[in-house]
């Protein structure tokens, strides 16, 4: 793992939680609890949810794609968003 990716994980872990998506139908978020990454996803209407443990690579991937979406970059990865962009997004309060 690159130092930049470790810094991203540390930054988000310090905040405890990051929402990946949410609307009237569903929600998804990551939490860092007791040294473990947890991914929670569920149905907004019924509040049924599923919690699973996520690897650091899965967390990094989810964070990368969240930042791509939030910065208006859609479709396949074209290199327009870098790990530095991801770190800057979260350091600047993006969640």
Location of structure tokens 């907004």: 44
Which residues have a Cβ under 8 Å from the Cβ of 35 and sit 6 or more positions away? none
Question: What is the rounded CA–CA span in Å between residue 63 and residue 6?
Answer: 12
Residue 75: pLDDT over 80 = no
Give the max Cα distance, the chain: 40
Q: Quick one: pLDDT at residue 42? A: 95
Task: Name the percent of the chain lying above pLDDT 70.
Answer: 99
This prediction's pTM = 0.87
Location of structure tokens 């919690």: 51
38-51 residue pLDDT tens:
999 999 999 999 99
The angle subtended at Cα 84 by Cα 79 and Cα 89, nearest 5°, is: 105
Question: What is the rounded CA–CA span in Å between residue 42 and residue 45?
Answer: 9
Q: Across all residues in the chain, what is the average pLDDT?
A: 92
């Amino acid at each position: 793992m690159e130092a930049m990716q470790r810094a991203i994980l540390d930054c988000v872990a310090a905040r405890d939680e990051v929402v990946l998506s949410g609307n009237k139908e569903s929600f998804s978020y990551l939490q860092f609890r007791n040294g473990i990454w947890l991914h929670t996803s569920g149905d907004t209407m019924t509040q049924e949810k599923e919690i699973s443990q996520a690897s650091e690579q899965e967390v990094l991937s989810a964070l990368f794609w969240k930042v791509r979406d939030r910065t208006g970059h859609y479709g396949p990865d074209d290199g327009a968003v870098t790990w530095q962009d991801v770190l800057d997004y979260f350091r600047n309060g993006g969640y």
